[in-house]
Amino acid sequence: MIPYFEQPVLPLGPVKIHAFGVLVAVSMLVGIRVALKRCKTLSLDQDLCADLLFYLLIAAFVFAHLFAVLAYFPGEVAKDPLMLLKIWENISSFGGILGALFGIWLFFRWKSPPLPGGTGWKYLDAIAFAFPFAWAIGRLGCVFAHDHPGTVTGFPLGVSLSTPEARAYITYFYGAAGRLGELPEPGKLAGMAYHDLGWYEFLYTLLVVVPVFLFLDRKPRPTGFFPLAFFLLYLPVRFLLDFLRISDARYGGLTFAQYASIAGFAAVAYVLWRRTLPTGTRL
């Protein structure tokens, strides 16, 4: 089992720098660099790509927060509506993806100069290719922050509950969800672990998605191939992992992200069915 550890924090006077924040910043820098390099390889305008990335990142951060608090903690928002304005707290990776897509749409709708039909898909393709590399680093930040705890388990890749700190951590989340009665007695709990969903997504992205993308890039692909490839690889796994969440709000037995996964997978299937991927696609 993976040992539990406290998130590293570097105090600089009144400011505390958390490992999560550092890794998220690194992930953005890596994503930007890889996307710009990809645009250069594809003979795309790097300045236009940089502007697009700005819109994408702003929208991603806003949506990541709103999605997290409204979809997963609606009760807390009802108690404290000001939570909606604290965009530095409670962020959802899935919400960030949706926000990024909205930012891309907004950019091509309002900011981008006129482009030939289908050009927008080329930029989206470049960004989508870079995304898993940044995503893996961002998910590593989630690993350090322990911000996606799942149910207790005996799974070897779970995070060990052998220390009092780990048991207090998972007990807090079970208590917040009103599920304390589901926890084993303390002696048994100490020999168990909990599912860390950020850790699982990090492993899946690093060991599966990134290698698959590198392999698929060994020969030319149709424009728009990599956005659809990412969603086909990611959405089913995300759908299954959400069953392990402890305290997230559920609607009809599923989380909001699971419904979004179903809708996203259906949208990708529709695009493939319509055969708009190779040519004639507009964005």
Residue-by-residue pLDDT tens, the chain, 283 positions? 899 999 999 988 888 898 998 999 999 999 999 999 999 999 999 999 999 999 999 999 898 888 777 877 777 777 777 777 666 666 777 788 889 989 999 999 888 888 887 788 899 999 999 999 999 999 999 999 998 899 999 999 999 999 999 999 999 999 988 999 999 998 999 999 999 999 999 999 999 999 999 999 999 998 889 999 999 999 999 999 999 999 887 889 998 889 989 999 999 988 887 755 455 444 4
Closest CA to 124 of 25, 28, 52: 52
> Both ends of the chain: CA-CA distance in Å?
46
The Cα angle at residue 153 between residues 23 and 134, in degrees rounded to 5: 20
Q: At what angle do helices 19-41 and 119-145 cross, to 10 degrees?
A: 160
Q: What per-residue confidence (pLDDT) applies to 281?
A: 47
43-79 b/e (C-beta count within 10 Å ≥ 16 → b): ebeeebbeebbebbbebbbbbbbbbbbbbbbeeebee
Sign of the Cα pseudo-torsion (258, 261, 262, 263, in order): positive
- Provide the 8-state DSSP code for 246: S
Q: In residues, how long is the chain?
A: 283
39 vs 53: CA distance, rounded Å:
12
Tracing tokens 């190779």 back to the chain, one arrives at 278
- Provide the 8-state DSSP code for 81: G
232 vs 261: CA distance, rounded Å:
10
Radius of gyration of the chain (CA): 20
196 vs 62: CA distance, rounded Å:
25
Sheet holding 193-196, edge to edge: 149-153, 193-196, 159-160
**β partners of residue 254:** 251
**β partners of residue 160:** 193
Query: 38 with 214: CB under 8 angstroms?
Result: no
Query: 69 with 168: CB under 8 angstroms?
Result: no
